[in-house]
């Protein structure tokens, strides 16, 4: 399939970049070509970092609409506002592209410690969790550190609420408990499950996120608690004290509802049907204001397109801004885009997503062919003045994942991630966590990468294995 896409591109584009040439001969030529963009890159960087417009716009978006979970009115009103603003900006082809999205609602919820003492514990139900009966579930707690410990105490899980107090190793490693915890506990007869928030640090602020069920076990309610309280319940159990809690959750899943990806463009001068996508997702969880995850990523991409427009820089190909819907629990925006644009995915040169927080940019992670990697690494060199010149292998984004699996080269903005998971999916994900000057550098990085790729004489070479499915 990859080979077929590659040869189609050769036929369609006939571009020099797509021609199979020995890597050794190709790279110096690519580097020289990219170097010819140095002055333009300098203009983009200077304009993007001259003010803090991106941060101010993100502050307005998040202050006006608050959190924007899929299925909510606040998300749809935010999308309307973004479309209006993009039209006011004078961007081209401004429109929404329909996607049906899941609609999970939290309702009211609470967790009360009953024994060994009474007290209310901050909690957040996990996305897609089922609820409890109205009177809640009152049961003794079994605290485990990991799945091995759960297996060792399998006989004690029946009728209890299992708390996974898994120490944070990395997001990718530890999030497994959030995704699988309910199934692991339910298989052993547990009546509900709790999770130490997947975060290296918090201040009694639980972190939500999506969970999953499968046909191997009855769905049981599943909620995150703070790191502090997980540690406390663990200590209580260690002392041999009975730990009993009452969990109440109204969470439920309603029928799917229509939503939209929002789109705006700067149409290309020579090959407007060929596209470079720059993007972030506009939905968030229903806590905090989704500033870091991922209003900031979308607004940085938006401001990158505006920076090109305001400088009168119109590349050969079209740069398409996409604000995705439903990244957080379903990826329906990315899937709908893949399906709606299936016939023209061969003309998607590159898709860029920012979804790791618009902190100090470091560079980009890239997934695509070796020869394309050489090109984008050379372009990355243009970002040395803002320290965003580290281009690494591997990268993309959840929303662009579906088109990457169809062979579109993908790229994710990499930023300093040291604080990202402190705030991620919690009430603390608010705009004050982002530095206006760092965010402006993210705008610059996206503008330079997107502009140069869109303006190169030939398409980025395709090839290489598409990323594994999610």
Question: Which listed range, 152-160, 188-196, 265-273, 347-355, lies at the site for Zn ion (CB under 5 A)?
Answer: 347-355
For position 294 contacting Zn ion by CB under 5 A, the verdict is yes
Question: Which listed range, 142-150, 184-192, 355-363, 437-445, lies at the site for Zn ion (CB under 5 A)?
Answer: 355-363
Instruction: Give the whole-angstrom CA distance, residue 139 versus residue 132.
Output: 12
Helix (H) or strand (E) holding 228: helix 227-238
Sheet of 317-324: strand order equals 92-105, 252-266, 317-324, 271-281, 348-353, 410-415, 361-367, 390-393
Strands 271-281 and 317-324: parallel
Nearest residue (CB) to Zn ion, 293 versus 455: 293
Residue among 425, 432, 394, 414 nearest 297 (CA):
414
- In the complex, least distance from residue 85 CB atom to Zn ion, rounded to whole angstroms: 21
- CA dihedral (351, 353, 359, 364) positive or negative: negative
Total chain residues near Zn ion (CB under 5 A): 3
Residue 166 and residue 145 in contact, taking contact as beta carbons nearer than 8 Å: yes
Q: Which residues pair with 5 in a beta bridge?
A: none
- In the complex, least distance from residue 281 CB atom to Zn ion, rounded to whole angstroms: 6
For position 109 contacting Zn ion by CB under 5 A, the verdict is no
Record the tokens describing residue 72, joined without a space. 């909510």
Nearest residue (CB) to Zn ion, 37 versus 298: 298
Residue 266 and residue 309 in contact, taking contact as beta carbons nearer than 8 Å: yes
Nearest residue (CB) to Zn ion, 68 versus 377: 68
Q: Is 327 a catalytic residue?
A: yes
For position 353 contacting Zn ion by CB under 5 A, the verdict is no
Residue among 212, 152, 160 nearest 185 (CA):
160
Neighbours of 156 (CB within 10 A): 16
Question: Which listed range, 65-73, 109-117, 244-252, 293-301, lies at the site for Zn ion (CB under 5 A)?
Answer: 293-301
- In the complex, least distance from residue 161 CB atom to Zn ion, rounded to whole angstroms: 29
- In the complex, least distance from residue 191 CB atom to Zn ion, rounded to whole angstroms: 32
- In the complex, least distance from residue 399 CB atom to Zn ion, rounded to whole angstroms: 9
For position 399 contacting Zn ion by CB under 5 A, the verdict is no
Question: Which listed range, 89-97, 119-127, 349-357, 416-424, lies at the site for Zn ion (CB under 5 A)?
Answer: 349-357
Residue among 209, 193, 197, 220 nearest 329 (CA):
209
For position 286 contacting Zn ion by CB under 5 A, the verdict is no
Interface of this chain with Zn ion, residues 414 to 453, rule: CB under 5 A: none
Q: Does the bond joining 116 to the residue before it have cis omega, within 30 degrees of 0?
A: yes
Residue 390 and residue 366 in contact, taking contact as beta carbons nearer than 8 Å: no
Nearest residue (CB) to Zn ion, 165 versus 355: 355
For position 355 contacting Zn ion by CB under 5 A, the verdict is yes
Question: Which listed range, 59-67, 209-217, 287-295, 434-442, lies at the site for Zn ion (CB under 5 A)?
Answer: 287-295
For position 293 contacting Zn ion by CB under 5 A, the verdict is yes
Nearest residue (CB) to Zn ion, 285 versus 373: 285
Helix (H) or strand (E) holding 73: helix 73-88
Catalytic residue among 76, 109, 327, 353: 327
In the 3-class helix/strand/coil scheme, how is 351-399 assigned residue by residue? Answer: EEECCCCCCCEEEEEEECCHHHHHHHHHHHHHHHHHCCCEEEECCCCCC
- In the complex, least distance from residue 31 CB atom to Zn ion, rounded to whole angstroms: 34
- In the complex, least distance from residue 294 CB atom to Zn ion, rounded to whole angstroms: 4
Record the tokens describing residue 330, joined without a space. 């379903």
Nearest residue (CB) to Zn ion, 294 versus 438: 294
Instruction: Give the whole-angstrom CA distance, residue 211 versus residue 194.
Output: 12
Interface of this chain with Zn ion, residues 69 to 108, rule: CB under 5 A: none
- In the complex, least distance from residue 249 CB atom to Zn ion, rounded to whole angstroms: 24
Question: Which listed range, 45-53, 318-326, 351-359, 371-379, lies at the site for Zn ion (CB under 5 A)?
Answer: 351-359
Nearest residue (CB) to Zn ion, 30 versus 355: 355
Q: Is 274 helix (H, G, I), strand (E, B) or coil?
A: strand
Nearest residue (CB) to Zn ion, 183 versus 224: 224
Neighbours of 4 (CB within 10 A): 10
* Residue numbers annotated as active site: 327
Interaction site with Zn ion (CB under 5 A): 293-294, 355
């Amino acid at each position: 399939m990859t080979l077929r896409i590659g040869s189609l591109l050769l036929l369609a584009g006939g571009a020099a970049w797509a021609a199979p040439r020995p890597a050794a001969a190709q790279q110096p030529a690519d580097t020289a070509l990219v170097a010819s963009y140095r002055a333009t890159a300098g203009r983009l960087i200077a304009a993007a970092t001259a003010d803090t417009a991106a941060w101010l716009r993100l502050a307005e978006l998040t202050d006006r609409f608050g959190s924007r979970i899929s299925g909510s009115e606040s998300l749809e009103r935010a999308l309307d506002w973004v479309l209006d603003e993009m039209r006011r900006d004078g961007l081209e082809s401004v429109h929404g592209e329909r996607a049906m999205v899941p609609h999970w609602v939290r309702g009211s919820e609470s967790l009360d410690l009953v024994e060994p003492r009474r007290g209310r514990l901050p909690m957040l139900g996990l996305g897609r969790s089922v609820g409890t009966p109205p009177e809640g579930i009152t049961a003794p707690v079994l605290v485990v550190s990991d799945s091995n410990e759960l297996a060792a105490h399998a006989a004690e899980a029946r009728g209890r609420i299992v708390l996974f107090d898994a120490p944070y190793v990395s997001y990718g490693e530890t999030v497994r408990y959030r995704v699988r915890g309910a199934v692991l506990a339910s298989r052993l007869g547990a009546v509900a499950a709790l999770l130490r928030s997947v975060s290296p640090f918090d201040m009694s602020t639980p972190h939500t996120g999506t969970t999953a069920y499968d046909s191997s076990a009855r769905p049981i309610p599943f909620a995150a608690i703070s790191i502090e309280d997980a540690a406390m319940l663990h200590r209580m159990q260690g002392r041999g004290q009975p730990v009993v809690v009452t969990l109440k959750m109204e969470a439920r899943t309603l029928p799917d509802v229509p939503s939209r990806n929002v789109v705006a463009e700067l149409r290309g001068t020579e090959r407007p049907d060929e596209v470079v996508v720059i993007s972030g997702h506009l939905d968030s969880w229903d806590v905090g204001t989704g500033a870091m995850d991922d209003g900031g990523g979308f607004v940085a991409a938006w401001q990158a397109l505006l920076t090109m427009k305001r400088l009168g820089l119109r590349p050969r190909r079209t740069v398409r801004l996409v604000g995705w819907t439903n990244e957080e629990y379903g990826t329906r925006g990315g899937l709908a885009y893949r399906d709606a644009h299936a016939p023209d995915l061969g003309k998607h040169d590159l898709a860029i997503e920012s979804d790791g927080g618009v902190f100090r940019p470091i560079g980009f992670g890239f997934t695509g062919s070796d020869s394309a990697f050489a090109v984008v690494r050379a372009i990355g060199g243009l970002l040395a003045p803002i320290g965003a010149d580290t281009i690494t292998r591997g990268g993309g984004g959840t929303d662009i994942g579906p088109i990457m699996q169809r062979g579109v080269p993908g790229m994710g903005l990499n930023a300093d991630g040291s604080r990202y998971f402190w705030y991620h999916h919690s009430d603390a994900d608010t705009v004050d966590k982002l530095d206006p000057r760092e965010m402006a550098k993210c705008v610059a990085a996206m503008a330079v990468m997107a502009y140069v790729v869109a303006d190169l004489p030939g398409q980025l070479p395709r090839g290489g294995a598409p990323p594994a499915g999610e």
